[in-house]
A and B are shown apart, each in its own frame.
Chain A
Amino acid sequence: MKILVTIKRVTDYEAKLQIDSSGNKIKLDGVNMIANPFDEIAVEEALRLKEKHDGEVCVLSIGTADATQQIRAAMAMGADRGILVKTDNPLDCTALSQVIAHVAGEEKPDLVFMGKQAIDDDSHQVAEMVAERMGAPQATQAYKVSVEGDWVTVVREADGGLETVSVKMPCVVTSDLRLNEPRYASLPGIMKAKKKPLDERELSTLGLSIKQSMTIQKLELPPTKTTGEMVPDVQTLVSKLHDVEKVL
């Protein structure tokens, strides 16, 4: 089975963020960058599927040349090869989905494994857009994944409980947090990763007419809350909630 996994390079979730002078970008100097945690989970699940059903795991990232770090890290975990589509201008979700669907069209994977959301823009759009462009079914927010014949059965984290759906391959599946715990790369894995094929291409060579249809006008730090008060004991807390806030 052939699996294409997408990886976005994002700011570390522990980073303290600042907005640069343009007012619509995050200052990236000195900020630690990581693979989107959901994408790491997707890589892990793809590797487990490969271990069970054979095949190949190819990882794809779209971004600056630095994203090779995240691709190599996925290869060190066990992915077989990588593709980087290089662009210095960040793309919006519509454009990203065009690029990913284009690569999927060339690679013809059985399964495109993505993250349910990127923890920087929190858009939760790209995977579903890719599925629609491929004319493929989707199973998002996966909690459990199993494959039988042409069908992938996924238990999803839905509102109000766990939903099970079956989707026919080729399909798009997105990972939720509890799907698995990604493995650490071993030292031999890291050594091997250096020699695995990584195909770097310029976005402009794909022959796509990319239309950016969304612009970020402004980024702002939300107003900080005027700090509340510490209460000395339970009685004071209850009186405040009852008499001052009137929420009881």
Chain B
Amino acid sequence: MSQVHLIVAEYDSNHLKKACLSAITAAQKVGGTCHGLVLGKGVKHFADAFAKYVDTVHYAEHDALEHRLAQPDAKVIADVAKSAGATHVWAAATVNGKDVMPRVAVRLEAAMASDISSVVNEKTYQRPMWAGDITGTVELHTPVQVITVRPTEFAPAEQKAAGQIQSVSVDPGDVQMKFVGFDEVKSERPELTEASIVVSGGRGVKSPEGFKKLIEPLADHLNAAIGASRAVCDAGWVPNDWQVGQTGKVVAPKLYFAIGISGAIQHVAGMKGSKCIVAINKDPEAPIFQVADYGLVGDAATLVPELIEKLKAL
């Protein structure tokens, strides 16, 4: 039987997120027809953009879909999946994807695999468990399946001839939740999960001022995104959204700096896929050196300014 995939798009104020293009790549590994779904209000342009990657885009527009509320979104995703005859429903394992897809699974009586790192066959997937300490191979046994995809493990899909766009009629169902507001962390820097270089700081940078004096100038010079350990986010030195790790963001840039970060497994879970990892830590025994490609032992307060000087001289 041939497989029919429905991939849920994700976008921010002005672009489709790369993460959902990774979900398309994962679906393509199973093989079959790929449908896309764009939900929202006044976002037809994202349907046009998404059509460049899939055969058909279903465009669901409704006032109730303006904000990403799990209750109406799940109903609409499940309704479209049924009418499209989807065997697999996919989304990126972002905060939104994690929020809505388990509800979709219940509506479709589908088994679900979260945050997969590879596709074995049309019902078997690998996924990190125990903070990435263990890789599990899981098999789903239902006719319809729901899968969320770890974006760093799949390259974004390539563009092709544009597919067609179909508007779908929307019934959001009963909704007992309201969007109140969004306090966005504004930044001129590249997005953490999409940046090619990430500079992360931990408790070893000592203070919020240390973060400003060491991490920010290095990131500025490299046009890098900034990440952080949980300890630093919890202390309120930087926004929570910057946390890298098991319970924060998963990143895999071509270059990752871990500065003053001990390398607890929960942190490593979010960055070990990076191509080249540099660790700077004053403790030669710090576990971070076990995952680093290059390790430098010493005081970040002197080494980082020296590093910035040497980079400027290149």
Interface residues of A (CB under 8 A from B): 11, 13, 17, 19, 26, 92-94, 97, 116-117, 119-129, 131-133, 135-141, 143, 153, 156-168, 171, 176-178, 212-222, 225, 227-231, 233-235, 237-238, 240-242, 245, 247-248
Contact = CB atoms under 8 A, between A and B. Distances in A.
Nearest to B254: A247
B contact face: mostly helix, strand, loop, or mixed: mixed
B43 interface: no
B134 A219 contact: yes
Given A132-B103, A177-B230, A228-B295, A216 B138 contact: yes
Contacts of A162: 182-183, 240
B135 A222 contact: yes
A247 B255 contact: yes
Contacts, number: 243
A218 B105 contact: no
Contact of B307 (A213, A216, A229, A234): A234
Contact of A213 (B98, B133, B142, B265): B142
Contact of B138 (A131, A214, A221, A222): A214
Interface residues of B, number: 88
Interface of B: 12, 69-71, 74, 94-96, 98-103, 105-107, 110-115, 124, 127-142, 174-185, 191, 197, 222, 230, 233-234, 239-241, 246-247, 254-255, 265-266, 272, 275-278, 284, 289-297, 303, 306-307, 310-311, 314
Contacts of A97: 102, 106
Contact of A178 (B140, B234, B310): B234
A167 B295 CA distance: 48
Contacts of B293: 228-229, 245
B69 A161 contact: no
Considering residues B74, B96, B129, B183, which has the most beta carbons from chain A within 10 angstroms of its beta carbon?
Answer: B129
Given A231-B295, A231-B296, A213 B176 contact: no
Contact of A166 (B177, B234, B265): B177
Contacts of B111: 92, 94, 213-214
Considering residues B95, B180, B303, which has the most beta carbons from chain A within 10 angstroms of its beta carbon?
Answer: B95
A1 to B, nearest CB: 17
B181 A237 contact: no
- For the complex of A and B, the 5 pairs showing the least CB-CB separation, nearest first, are A213-B111, A128-B102, A137-B177, A228-B293, A132-B103
A125 B146 CA distance: 11
Given A143-B240, A167-B177, A219-B137, 10 more contacts: A122-B115, A128-B102, A132-B102, A157-B241, A160-B185, A162-B240, A171-B176, A218-B136, A220-B135, A231-B295
A151 B291 CA distance: 46
Contacts of A153: 180
A129 B112 CA distance: 10
Given A131-B103, A231-B294, A241-B294, A157 B140 contact: no
Considering residues A117, A124, A141, A227, which has the most beta carbons from chain B within 10 angstroms of its beta carbon?
Answer: A124
A164 B95 contact: no
B294 A240 contact: yes
Given A129-B103, A131-B103, A237 B294 contact: yes
A217 B137 contact: yes
Contacts of A136: 176
B296 to A, nearest CB: 6
B71 A137 contact: yes
Considering residues B99, B136, B234, B241, which has the most beta carbons from chain A within 10 angstroms of its beta carbon?
Answer: B99
Contacts of A176: 240, 247
B95 A238 contact: no
Contacts of A227: 290
A126 B181 CA distance: 26
